[in-house]
Structure 1
Amino acid sequence: MTAIAHVNAIGTAVPPHQVHDAFVGFVRASLSDPAHARLFDRMVTRAGIERRFSFIQPEVLPDGRITDRDRFYGLGHWPSTAARMARYERDAPVLALQAVRALSTDIAAEGVTHLVLASCTGFVAPGLDQVLVSQAGLDPAVERTVVGFMGCYAAVNALRSAHHIVRSEPEARVLVVNLELCTLHFQRTQDLEKLLSMLLFGDGAAAALVTAEPHGIALTDFRSAAIPGSGEAITWRIGDQGFDMHLDGQVPSFIANALRAERGRNDPGSIFRGLSPADYDLWAVHAGGRTILDAVDRALNLPADALHRSREVLRRFGNMSSATLMFVLAAMLEDRTQGGAATAGGNGIAMAFGPGLAAETFRFRLLPA
């Protein structure tokens, strides 16, 4: 019998500094077009985000200008890509290790055989995977896989890799880490579309243990779906002053139309595998933004509270790229142990969206605590 991979537990971590308010204040003060400033204020109110976190500590100067304690985003030129990567090299291992310790106080004792690490917000060699093996005290012979620069849906790809490892090696114990420092890539610009994209993103990390042991979240199967005609809707390109994100305003419409088409197919080849959305009890949807969650809600006619965990993660942390979906799954596990609304044994479906434009999905079952 083929082994079934299970997400046994998930640990999460965010950096120490809350930056959402400071970012909003900085942008509001810097916009020279009053109409753009009014629109930005409306979008802040509607974003559904209250907090985002970073290693960059905001500071308000005596004259009211907003910067940060280290002047990383200074009053003159903003940092080069090289400077941003230096901060990634310094801060990413700290946050990754915090998430691992939230998963297990002694990860070395867990017998980890494989490490799958996903990140799209920084590059360094020796890699974050190698640094984490050393700092966490893992066996140096652990097999390492890096899922790089895939964006928000990399969480699904990382779990898919762990799923296949456990299915082929039932004794495997896979540590899956998603780490993103999105706030390293803020851009100084008057482009309102870019500013509204930056309004969404914060930093976070998640660590999960995936094994064949039957507790936690059972991973059933995985499926991808590309959305035709949307190749430039989400882009993430490396520039001279960090990584430059483009998030087209049509992304929610692309997603809604694609989900309606998948729902209408009603065959085994769709992401719903021939079932109706009503056949799924649990929904773990990447909290990419309020408009994206609204698009999923409307396209699938979901119950009013189906995406409440995703909306709560968005409210508390913003969009943390690949780490975000893992925070949603962690909330589901916690809800189950605290006697909440998560239905143990129920059928679940998870999905995340990213560059391509594509959807990465998997089905799962939430097991009793």
Structure 2
Amino acid sequence: MTTFLGPTIQGVGTAVSATSYSQQDVLDAFEITDPRIRSLFLNSAIDRRYLTLPPLGPDGTRTLEPQGDLLDKHKELAVDMGARALEACLKDIGADLSDLRYLCCVTSTGFLTPGLSALIMRRLGIDRHCHRADIVGMGCNAGLNALNAVSGWAAAHPGELAVIVCAEACSAAYAYDSTMRTAVVNSLFGDGAAAIALVGGEEPDPTATAGPRIRKFASCIITEALDAMRYDWDREQDRFSFYLDPEIPYVVGAHAELVVDRLLNGTGLRRRDIDHWLIHSGGKKVIDAVMVNLGLTRHDVRHTTDVLRDYGNLSSGSFLFSYDRLVAEGIAAPGDHGVLMTMGPGSTIETALVQW
């Protein structure tokens, strides 16, 4: 095993929006009768999602929100959920806002200038000298992109606390029409935010919650599938609209083995040596494709499938919701190895190797 000692994951926190809906609730709310779309919703392996639906109009139906209102919704939800996830993460490790030295915020469901990090700092009264960064528009894989970048900062600043916040207001990225393209997106995503704390150095704070050390990262961008996941301007609806190619599960699955083998290369580990798999809850077909190509069991991906069932696809923060569930299980033992995997636009697969 490589002797490199990366930063330690110290704690995690999550937050969601105010209201949750079953898939049937959403179908009823928009009076969807198309049997193809209904089947898509009801066979998604999702029970409930947290959503902030459009307001009711005078006739009792949901009104179509213009893009400006969606941007306002994103700002309100992302700041609120992100701030609460950050506070939950700090509470998890017994830290205060005054301990924070670096804040990195991730979002792909809206555009903000000043960025989410500045807005959360103002909301919570974080020290104005706290370092910060914003990762915008990278999609569902972006949480691990942030973890890679912030790990470098933490390693260069031993003993100082860094936190990543992934805040995705997916309700602010919806379009409503009768197309299957839109239905695929609307059946899948939910609102949520997650935060993870890192501390670099040989001797992390002994009073903090012990977590795994980050050992290595590996990345793969599948440029031939660059347009398979994208956020386009819909001229007919005068708003942005997300597109998912139906072939995405197979594209991701076909490349999963390649990037995981690259991650483990030189470590002395094989896939069978990995004790914990934390994979992005990208959808039932995506999870199944990754399982088949990596030879994983249902037990291996239980946290991923449980998060999909209870929250839907939470975009960049999904894998941190899975990590939170692993922590709650309390089964990770010293010496255990874990692989984190996220997938998103590019098309991109990001991975990280961690060790407890």
CA distance in 2, matches of 1:192, 1:99: 33
> CA, structure 1 residues 359+211, in 2 after alignment: closer, same or farther (shift >3 Å)?
same
TM-score normalised over the length of structure 2: 0.88
CA distance in 1, matches of 2:258, 2:7: 30
Give the CA deviation at 1:45.
3.0
> CA, structure 1 residues 227+170, in 2 after alignment: closer, same or farther (shift >3 Å)?
same
Work out which of the residue numbers 222, 227, 232 in structure 2 matches 1:237: 232
79-88 vs 37-46, which moves further: 37-46
Q: What secondary structure sits across from 1:324 in the alignment?
A: helix
Contact between 2:4 and 2:215, CA under 8 Å: does it hold in 1? no
Name the counterpart of 2:82. 96
Give the CA deviation at 1:129.
0.8
Q: What secondary structure sits across from 1:104 in the alignment?
A: helix
Contact between 1:24 and 1:199, CA under 8 Å: does it hold in 2? no
Contact between 2:81 and 2:192, CA under 8 Å: does it hold in 1? yes
Work out which of the residue numbers 308, 312, 316 in structure 1 matches 2:306: 312
> CA, structure 1 residues 262+5, in 2 after alignment: closer, same or farther (shift >3 Å)?
closer
Name the counterpart of 1:363. 353
CA distance in 1, matches of 2:124, 2:158: 23
Give the CA deviation at 1:41.
2.9
CA distance in 1, matches of 2:188, 2:229: 14
Identity percentage of aligned residues: 24
Name the counterpart of 1:34. none
Give the CA deviation at 1:60.
10
Question: Could you tell me which amino acid in structure 2 is paired with residue 38 of structure 1?
Answer: P
Name the counterpart of 2:73. 87
> CA, structure 1 residues 148+344, in 2 after alignment: closer, same or farther (shift >3 Å)?
same
Name the counterpart of 1:257. 254
Question: Could you tell me which amino acid in structure 2 is paired with residue 50 of structure 1?
Answer: D
Q: What secondary structure sits across from 2:159 in the alignment?
A: coil
Name the counterpart of 2:171. 183
Work out which of the residue numbers 9, 12, 19 in structure 2 matches 1:10: 12
> CA, structure 1 residues 90+228, in 2 after alignment: closer, same or farther (shift >3 Å)?
closer
Give the CA deviation at 1:201.
0.2
* Residue 300 of structure 2 corresponds to residue 303 of structure 1: no
Deviations 1:8-58 (A, max 9, x none): 11010001111343322245x345xxxxx2232333332110111123477
Name the counterpart of 2:221. 226
Name the counterpart of 1:204. 192
Deviations 1:208-252 (A, max 9, x none): 211132721211111111225211111123446443111011011
Q: What secondary structure sits across from 1:113 in the alignment?
A: strand
Question: Could you tell me which amino acid in structure 2 is paired with residue 47 of structure 1?
Answer: S
Name the counterpart of 1:141. 129
> CA, structure 1 residues 210+53, in 2 after alignment: closer, same or farther (shift >3 Å)?
same
Question: Could you tell me which amino acid in structure 1 is paired with residue 35 of structure 2?
Answer: R
Name the counterpart of 2:36. 39
* Residue 329 of structure 2 corresponds to residue 329 of structure 1: no
* Residue 273 of structure 2 corresponds to residue 287 of structure 1: no
Give the CA deviation at 1:7.
1.3
Contact between 1:3 and 1:166, CA under 8 Å: does it hold in 2? no
* Structure 1 residues not aligned, in runs of 5+: 32-36, 68-73
Contact between 1:184 and 1:242, CA under 8 Å: does it hold in 2? no
* Residue 158 of structure 2 corresponds to residue 158 of structure 1: no
Contact between 1:19 and 1:57, CA under 8 Å: does it hold in 2? no
Contact between 2:218 and 2:259, CA under 8 Å: does it hold in 1? no
Contact between 2:230 and 2:345, CA under 8 Å: does it hold in 1? yes
Deviations 1:266-307 (A, max 9, x none): 5xxx23326432121110100010110000111111133100
293-302 vs 93-102, which moves further: 93-102
Contact between 1:107 and 1:136, CA under 8 Å: does it hold in 2? no
Contact between 1:100 and 1:107, CA under 8 Å: does it hold in 2? no
Give the CA deviation at 1:89.
2.2
Aligned Cα root-mean-square deviation (Å): 2.4
